[in-house]
A and B are shown apart, each in its own frame.
Chain A
């Protein structure tokens, strides 16, 4: 059976005849070979060095060397005001930076007790889930590229571009958003933006079907993923592996369900879980998560307080004008305004903002797993300490245990299935 070839079967040296003119008296020399993979390697998705000990083609031992992308993001927080530090968070995990921003602003909101209007929470949820789709799409493309398929890569990037165009209309940037603010968001939705999102999510399931038609049951993909890189629940818990890798091992751990933040308790969605814990299970869980994200976005668009940005903006302008006029002439009636529709809970002056002394930690479910931010403030505009818990670091740390006994050629398929991003590991 081709599919179930166990790694141990490859341990015996292949039965080949020696080349002509080469005399082999005692058979193959079976010394271990140390191979240095990376730091510049097309499949490491960043700068990762793996010192690999090989026995033939079988990985005997592996030691990841990290730190090539270290930019002292945590120390930078201590020399900048909170608002000054915020744009640099985008660069920690640039494939899903809305999540880092959410953890960061939630920390400040927790410390300062800032309320967040419901409309803002819904805007955040729409952007977060769109961001999860872009992140998983990139993973989908590069993972299959690692397996040798190049077409899905271009398809994934084509659809990712569409979401980035939506993000550009909303935030002005395609990847470095800097959009969330303490107690709100930078600007309201542009006119017609929600309709464009709806158009995208209506069309996207068809494209996901196309992806699945090409990849999901492709015999080459199945052959290279099923039964490979089994990451059991116990190993996950030992190494702190979270996210799709943990859910593919049969543990339905999703902070959006178990510890709902934002307004995730108001939307219905399911947590995709698989029990096989292999590379293929992680693939299936991620593809399914994209479908679940679409469900969440659709509910958010339907239920967002205030609806489309254009009409709400006009109403806001009327309200502001009437409020101003009312100071001179008390008889003027101000149109009704729901506080849920605001863009800020309490508008703060970002130039001079000082949160009170305190500490808070926030954990959110990023596309790669649990992302944590711990912040200590001391009453100055700067944070005394900011600590990030990136999912990629823990997910990478289990790689040596995962790779032992596997073929060298499966390394990139298994490593790719963990969806590690190096800037988040090194920070």
Chain B
């Protein structure tokens, strides 16, 4: 059957070079014996698995190890002193594939510094694609390795600025873990 028999794939030798007709012929010589042989081989392979460790985790007692790139809950990092890092440039809102998921309202104070009045993310509609984290010019909006996001109502999934913002220490910790410049002023 296989036209491409190669010596590297030793494991495929069971099939290589044989046609399905061969397999049938082999079986029909003594169908019962061959069948029993194969079923025994299969069952022995299954039995071998009994000695292996379980691969499942006893969640929630044991939590999975997540990579630092994990797409979890979105958050807003702050500067090291705890003030807002976001400059309200609307870049994240513009690349978001879900309409109006990220809503930002901002004004500028007397020194022309941006002040964020409102920043909401509707996690109920978020698809966790990561577009917003990629275009943010000040590395402010980022993912946290937090996946337990279920809640009792849709309204509770709309996170406002207070829910999203990490304080200065947490932000520094995040930047340290992800290899960014830690102190941001």
Of the candidates B1, B35, B95, the one whose C-beta lies within 8 Å of that of A281 is B1
Of the candidates B23, B45, B129, the one whose C-beta lies within 8 Å of that of A176 is B129
* A170 nearest CB neighbor, chain B only: B69
The answer to whether the Cβ of A276 comes within 8 Å of any Cβ in the partner chain is yes
Size class of the contact patch on chain A: 35 or more
Q: A84-B96, A217-B14, A274-B1 are in contact. Are A168 and B66 (CB under 8 A)?
A: yes
**Chain A residues within CB distance 8 Å of chain B:** 1-4, 80-81, 83-88, 90, 151, 155, 158, 161, 168-173, 176, 178, 186-187, 190, 205-206, 208-210, 212-219, 222, 226-227, 252, 270-276, 278, 280-281, 284, 287-288, 291, 295, 350-351
The answer to whether the Cβ of B161 comes within 8 Å of any Cβ in the partner chain is no
By Cβ-Cβ distance, the 4 closest A-B pairs, closest first, are A87-B129, A219-B35, A172-B69, A270-B4
The answer to whether the Cβ of B71 comes within 8 Å of any Cβ in the partner chain is yes
Q: How far is the CA of A209 from the CA of B13 in the complex (A)?
A: 10
* A273 and B69 contacting across the interface, CB-CB below 8 Å: no
Enumerate chain A residues within 8 angstroms of B31, measured Cβ to Cβ: 2, 219
Q: How far is the CA of A274 from the CA of B3 in the complex (A)?
A: 7
What is the distance, in angstroms, from A171's C-beta to the closest C-beta of chain B? 7
Of the candidates B21, B39, B130, the one whose C-beta lies within 8 Å of that of A218 is B39
Interface residues of B in 85-104 (CB under 8 A from A): 91, 94-97
* B42 and A214 contacting across the interface, CB-CB below 8 Å: yes
Q: A222-B27, A287-B15 are in contact. List 5 more A-B contacts (CB 8 A).
A: A84-B97, A88-B127, A168-B70, A172-B67, A288-B2
In this complex, the member of B24, B55, B96 whose beta carbon has the largest number of chain A beta carbons within 10 angstroms is B24
* A172 and B35 contacting across the interface, CB-CB below 8 Å: no
> What are 27 A-B pairs with beta-carbon distances under 8 A?
A83-B131, A169-B69, A172-B71, A173-B128, A176-B128, A176-B129, A190-B67, A205-B11, A206-B11, A214-B46, A216-B15, A218-B38, A219-B38, A222-B24, A272-B2, A273-B3, A276-B1, A281-B1, A284-B2, A284-B20, A288-B4, A288-B9, A288-B15, A291-B12, A350-B131, A350-B134, A351-B94
Enumerate chain B residues within 8 angstroms of A155, measured Cβ to Cβ: 49
In this complex, the member of B3, B28, B91 whose beta carbon has the largest number of chain A beta carbons within 10 angstroms is B3
In this complex, the member of B19, B66, B69, B91 whose beta carbon has the largest number of chain A beta carbons within 10 angstroms is B69
* A171 nearest CB neighbor, chain B only: B69
Of the candidates B34, B41, B97, the one whose C-beta lies within 8 Å of that of A213 is B41
The answer to whether the Cβ of B119 comes within 8 Å of any Cβ in the partner chain is no
- How many interface residues does B have (CB within 8 Å)? 48
What is the distance, in angstroms, from B97's C-beta to the closest C-beta of chain A? 5
* A351 and B2 contacting across the interface, CB-CB below 8 Å: no
What is the distance, in angstroms, from A228's C-beta to the closest C-beta of chain B? 11
Enumerate chain A residues within 8 angstroms of B3, measured Cβ to Cβ: 252, 273-275
* B55 nearest CB neighbor, chain A only: A158
What is the distance, in angstroms, from B5's C-beta to the closest C-beta of chain A? 9
Q: How far is the CA of A281 from the CA of B20 in the complex (A)?
A: 8
Q: How far is the CA of A213 from the CA of B37 in the complex (A)?
A: 11
* A87 and B4 contacting across the interface, CB-CB below 8 Å: no
Q: How far is the CA of A422 from the CA of B38 in the complex (A)?
A: 34
Q: How far is the CA of A294 from the CA of B20 in the complex (A)?
A: 25
The answer to whether the Cβ of B156 comes within 8 Å of any Cβ in the partner chain is no
The answer to whether the Cβ of B6 comes within 8 Å of any Cβ in the partner chain is yes
* A1 and B15 contacting across the interface, CB-CB below 8 Å: no
* B12 and A276 contacting across the interface, CB-CB below 8 Å: no
The answer to whether the Cβ of B138 comes within 8 Å of any Cβ in the partner chain is no
Q: How far is the CA of A88 from the CA of B131 in the complex (A)?
A: 11
* B45 and A210 contacting across the interface, CB-CB below 8 Å: yes
* A209 nearest CB neighbor, chain B only: B11
The answer to whether the Cβ of B106 comes within 8 Å of any Cβ in the partner chain is no
* B45 and A213 contacting across the interface, CB-CB below 8 Å: yes
* A295 and B1 contacting across the interface, CB-CB below 8 Å: no
Q: How far is the CA of A226 from the CA of B135 in the complex (A)?
A: 53
Q: How far is the CA of A210 from the CA of B144 in the complex (A)?
A: 38
* A186 and B2 contacting across the interface, CB-CB below 8 Å: no
